[in-house]
Amino acid sequence: MAALLDVRDLEVAFPQPGSGLFAPRPSLRAVRGVSFTLGQGRALGLVGESGAGKTTVALAVMRLLDAVGGTVSFDGADLYALDAAAMRARRRDLQIVFQNPYSSLDPRRRAADIVRAPLDLLGIGDPAARAARVAGLFARVGLRADQATLFPHQFSGGQRQRIAIARALATGPRLLVCDEPVSALDMITKRQILDLLAGLRDDFGLALLFVSHDLGAVRRICDEIAIMYLGRIVELSGRDELFARPRHPYTRALLAAAPSLAHRRSQGRAARCALAGEPPSPIDPPPGCAFAGRCPRATPKCRAECPELAAVGASRVACHFPG
């Protein structure tokens, strides 16, 4: 079956100030040739440190940022080839849940109005159908009917994120992009929201693109995981394969450092692999592997040649010496 979302060689760059009035302006290459596919009813996690480019990928997929190269195809149509009217019509199939439930909701609008807003903007249904849709979504995400008239400040963080999820589901999307949706929540609420998202995926056949730095959260909800480093995918694997046999040294370091996987490490199934130093500048990346400066196994070849993402067992890994 063809993939619902097909991202090929995606490039995103941000112009930076020049050193002088007539000096050329450097570019910060936030995303450098990222490719992946996502099928209906499947969940793909994008994982990496801050600055890896994972949120930029998510926003570019939604066409909330402009790409400078590559393609983003949704259900066979190149989103970047659509004009403004066609993209607006396509919006009902692609929705996003942002990271911070305290800033992603309009504080001046009541909860029901927030959830109904996409229906109003896209002209979906009549007023009675919209009201019924909002009521059904409130019940599905675990909110009470009497909370519909409340303002965002009257809800907890987890309840606000439930409102944001209900708003994203209002148009009946086929792809839901989740940008760090649980990072601002406590542990118990985080698990509740992850279980809610997993249930919604199963109930509605949603495709989930799940951005996170929390490997524990990704392990709980995703079928496949893409590890990103300095704008590139360095390992792409099924969930069970990645946690059982991490191939890239950066992946192993992330697994060893993840607080949510502390119990797994205590049972001796993950070797300790501390990261030293900082990632190189995305404005002037090194010629070889971007991770070479922090990798304990780097060789002159690693510093000179950039490895391509290639099949290694059941995974795809960008490393000259995958373990």
127-140 helix and 157-169 helix, angle to the nearest 10 degrees: 140
Q: Which pLDDT belongs to residue 306?
A: 94
Distance CA 63, CA 95 (A): 11
63, 70 in Cβ contact below 8 A?
no
**What is the pTM (predicted TM-score) of this model?**
0.91
Polymer length in residues for the chain: 323
Q: Which pLDDT belongs to residue 296?
A: 86
Residue 24 pLDDT class (50, 70, 90 cuts): confident
Residue-wise pLDDT for 25-46, tens only, equals: 788 999 999 999 999 999 999 9
Residue 279 pLDDT more than 50? yes
Residue 210 pLDDT more than 90? yes
Name the least confident of 154-158, 208-212, 214-218, 262-266: 262-266
Q: Which pLDDT belongs to residue 270?
A: 45
Q: Which pLDDT belongs to residue 1?
A: 57
For the CA atoms of 80, 212, 216, 231, the dihedral, rounded to the nearest 10 degrees, stands at: 80
Residue 120 pLDDT more than 60? yes
b/e for 212-248, b at 16 or more Cβ within 10 A? bbbbbbbbbbbbbbbbbbbbbbbbbbebebbbebbbb
Residue 264 pLDDT class (50, 70, 90 cuts): low
Residue-wise pLDDT for 41-98, tens only, equals: 999 999 999 889 999 999 999 999 999 999 999 999 999 999 999 999 999 999 999 9
> In this prediction, what percent of the chain has a pLDDT beyond 90?
78
